[in-house]
Amino acid sequence: MVCITFAGTKVQHYSEKVLNKILKIALPLIFGAAILWWMYRGFDWQTLHGTLVDEMSWTWMLLSFPFGILAQVFRGIRWRQVLQPMGENPRISTCVNAVFLSYASSLVIPRVGEVLRCGVLKRYDGIGFTRGVGTVVTERVIDMVIIAILSLFVVVAQLPVFFNFVRETGLSLSSLTGRFTTVGWAVTVTCVIFILAMGFWLIRRARILSRTRDFLQDLISGLLSIRKVASIWLFLIYSLAIWVCYFLHFYLTFFCFEFTESLSINVAVVAFVVGTFAVIVPTPNGAGPWHFAVKTVLMLYGVKGSEAAIFALLVHSIQTLLVAALGVYSAAALGLTKPLPAKPV
């Protein structure tokens, strides 16, 4: 009886783990798909096809690609720089390919890329996994600081524009928010809840992992490694270059369409910042929340809803294909990469 009970407990525990993994993959996909379905229900797909084939400037879209690639390259180089003070010296190519692969894998399972790229570095260059995780946390902290500063700048810079817009159009805050439908408010609130829940999960997860002494020591070592980088100014330049490239990757797509090419760079900055926060919601590459956020910002600045929806869908889809292509390239490159000999103990 005891054996049967014990076996039943193991099966139940295994089933719960499998169910949790399925939910972690399925829920973000379902949530993102639900938002996309709601946004594009009743959409005129023939108009989308006409815009894609006849009206969109592919020259500007292709010009945006190098900046999307460079952003990930700079991230890989910066990651290597953070690892070096810990006595680790991975190859630049491995770091960059690991970053490429991490972004591509997150298209399938949100957030899995952060763990995967640490595994790639361990397999090919023998870098301690937990040390890699610590440096990834360091990167995220720096990114959050940059986004916070950029967000503050956007709020301060756009307040006069917003008040002038309200004065000239006679809009009030109630009439502006009244443009949101009930479903729109529901999507916004749900995205905020997802972000808060994700933060709670990360804190809880960190507490569980911190019970392992070695993990905690390596994590702290990774977090503090930024103080010992060879050149803090070079680190800051890389950090700034990452986000400048991300922005240019997005901003240049404004010139692909007649209905966005006349918008000022300020509009692009606002849409970029709001879209960056939307990507925090764990859906594949921010699909759904990003579309909703960017469409809403463009509509606020006078772009028609149907045109804003076309912009969000085409830009996100094409840039996602670029991320996937870089993932395929990195997988092939890593397949041809010879792992470094194991370090002597």
- CA 57 from centre of chain: 25
The answer to whether position 315 is within a domain reads: yes
The answer to whether position 122 is within a domain reads: yes
Sites in the chain below the pLDDT cut of 50: 6, 165-166, 168-173, 175-176, 206-213
The answer to whether position 139 is within a domain reads: yes
Pair 72, 95: CB distance under 8 Å: no
Q: What is the pLDDT of residues 200-242, one digit of tens each?
A: 555 555 444 444 445 555 555 555 666 777 788 888 899 999 9
Supply the pLDDT for residue 289.
83
What's the structural domain count of the chain? 1
Q: Which amino acid is at 110?
A: P
Print the domain residue range for 104. 64-335
Cα–Cα distance between 307 and 278 in angstroms, integer?
20
Alpha helices by DSSP H, the chain: 2-40, 45-50, 58-83, 92-105, 112-125, 129-169, 173-177, 182-209, 213-224, 232-251, 265-279, 289-300, 305-335
3-state secondary structure of 337: coil
Supply the pLDDT for residue 97.
95
Pair 310, 47: CB distance under 8 Å: yes
The answer to whether position 20 is within a domain reads: no
3-state secondary structure of 49: helix
Cα–Cα distance between 42 and 266 in angstroms, integer?
31
The answer to whether position 80 is within a domain reads: yes
The answer to whether position 38 is within a domain reads: no
Supply the pLDDT for residue 199.
55
Residue 331 tokens, joined = 């997988």
Supply the pLDDT for residue 243.
94
Does the CA dihedral 57-60-66-70 come out positive or negative?
negative
Q: What is the pLDDT of residues 23-39, one digit of tens each?
A: 566 666 676 677 777 77
Residue 11 to residues 7, 14, 20, 50: CA-CA distances in angstroms?
6, 5, 14, 54
Query: Buried (b) or exposed (e) across 221-243, using 16+ Cβ within 10 A?
Result: bbeebbeebeeeeebeebbebbb
Supply the pLDDT for residue 329.
96
Supply the pLDDT for residue 151.
80
Measured torsion, CA atoms of residues 268, 300, 307, 282, in degrees rounded to the nearest 10: 70
The answer to whether position 95 is within a domain reads: yes
Burial of 282 (0-12, 13-18, 19+ CB in 10 A): buried
CA neighbor of 99 nearest in space, from 82, 122, 74: 74
CA neighbor of 68 nearest in space, from 100, 95, 110: 100
The answer to whether position 300 is within a domain reads: yes
